[in-house]
Amino acid sequence: MLKGLVSSLWSAVSGAGDGDAAPGELRAAIAELWVYPVKSMKGTRVSETEFEALGLCQDRRYLVVTPEGRFITQRQRPLLATIAPQLVFNDDGTFDGLRLTATKPASEVVGAASSDIRVPLVTAAHVGAVTRTVKVWGQPIENAVDQGDAVSAWLVATLQADEELRLVYFDPATCKRPVDDPGFITAADGAVTGFADGYPMLIANTASLADLNSRITAASASADALPMTRFRPNIVVTALAAAEGAGAGGSADPATSAKPLEAWEEDTWRHFKILRQGDTAAVIAHMEGVKRCGRCLVTTTDQETGVQGTRLSEPLATLSTFRAAACKEVMFGLVSAMPRADTQTNGHSSHCLLRASLLHCPVPLTRPCLQNVVPKPADGERGTLRVGDVISVTRREPIGPL
């Protein structure tokens, strides 16, 4: 009853109906894929990546915490934005940790003995491994694996911190974290995530960012348009025509002459699929929209310099004028979830691989809007996403909070 009432109210104020979209309505294509190995540090751009129930492989599997387990992000330490993690692989392709590099000039990194540090992977299976219980937004996560004293000291110096900091790893063999967001999704629904705020993937719509930037620059002649990096998405979607030639396999599927991608239309993507570029009969993943995403102070942080704004800074200032919900948050994107297959106890390797198409140098984006998603691979526990893959919306309805 409540769902129907919300749908009716939404239709009345926005003109957006609910119910099934046109069967297989092809709406967008993946323009960019981003992985964030360490929560709140720089992202790494890839052209192809495996994914599982936890999200993109090796995405937000590391977290900076205090010795007591309190999680640290750019909200408290905006200089995290200036540290670039590079994933390290052995010759046989297995994952073996990180190399962290401070991207600020050496003269600005006070006290750090080196601008970079190698962090070999320590899992719960290592002899002498130290595990910790950490909390992300109050939710305890047991058995996170401490990555050692050397990287701890490096982080304190590089971030100019006045407290001890530890780096921990989410080992899928021992760590479990259900997505639990009362009112929208509960642990009983079976979705899981790693060290993300709440949901394992974030999707961004270029049309929504374009609309936001047009409002920001119209309000002030001196204002600059904001880049995608402010919103830290995993998947950037764009109009199908704009995606032609974006993927390694050529142009987006030509049979997709749907209406243009609209700003903020992701607010209604209740059910959608990701299809393979060039073969839209091949379903790569199923997604379900759960809630719109409230935005925080991290969006005001310059992701190149680590300089942070206030709640009166952009984009929060402009979002508050037209994207504020009754819950007082400003909304930018959609969080989504699907039940998971049990990849943590079925004997499969706990370390999925990014493919050789990995681009190690972080490349700044120039556009976005958002969406957090928990994927359900169409076949088995793993799937592969590629730039150029197509988004097909199969059901629309208003998604809260309104």
Res 20 pLDDT > 60: no
Residue 374: pLDDT band by 50, 70, 90 thresholds?
A: very low
pLDDT of residue 321: 95
> How far separated are the first and last CA of the chain, in Å rounded?
16
Tally of CA atoms within 13 A in the half-sphere of 162 that contains its CB: 1
Lowest average pLDDT, out of 210-219, 371-380, 391-400, goes to 371-380
Q: Which domains does the chain possess?
A: 16-60+176-396 (2.40.33.20)
- Concatenate the DSSP letters of all residues of 258-278 into one string: PSPPPTTGGGGEEEEEEEETT
Higher pLDDT, 293 or 215: 215
Residue 337: pLDDT band by 50, 70, 90 thresholds?
A: low
Higher pLDDT, 402 or 203: 203
Residue 286: pLDDT band by 50, 70, 90 thresholds?
A: confident
- Using one digit for the tens of pLDDT, what is the confidence trace for 74-114? 999 999 999 999 999 999 999 999 999 999 764 465 566 67
Supply angle C-alpha 56, 60, 66, rounded to 5: 170
pLDDT of residue 266: 87
Q: Are 209 and 226 in contact (CB under 8 A)?
A: yes
CB contact burial 117-154 (16+ within 10 A = b; e otherwise): bebebbbbeeeebebbebebeeeebebbbbbeeebbbb
Res 124 pLDDT > 60: yes
Q: Would you put residue 61 in left (φ > 0), alpha (ψ -120 to 50) or beta?
A: alpha
> From start to end of 137-213, where are the E strands?
139-146, 166-169, 203-205
Distance CA 362, CA 360 (A): 6
Average pLDDT value for residue range 21-36: 82
pLDDT averaged over every residue in the chain: 79
Q: Are 129 and 145 in contact (CB under 8 A)?
A: yes
Res 243 pLDDT > 70: no
Res 19 pLDDT > 80: no
Distance CA 319, CA 81 (A): 22
Res 227 pLDDT > 50: yes
List 185's β-bridge partners, or say none. Answer: 181
Res 260 pLDDT > 80: yes
- Using one digit for the tens of pLDDT, what is the confidence trace for 4-17? 433 433 333 333 34
Q: Which residue has 């198409």 as its token pair?
A: 357
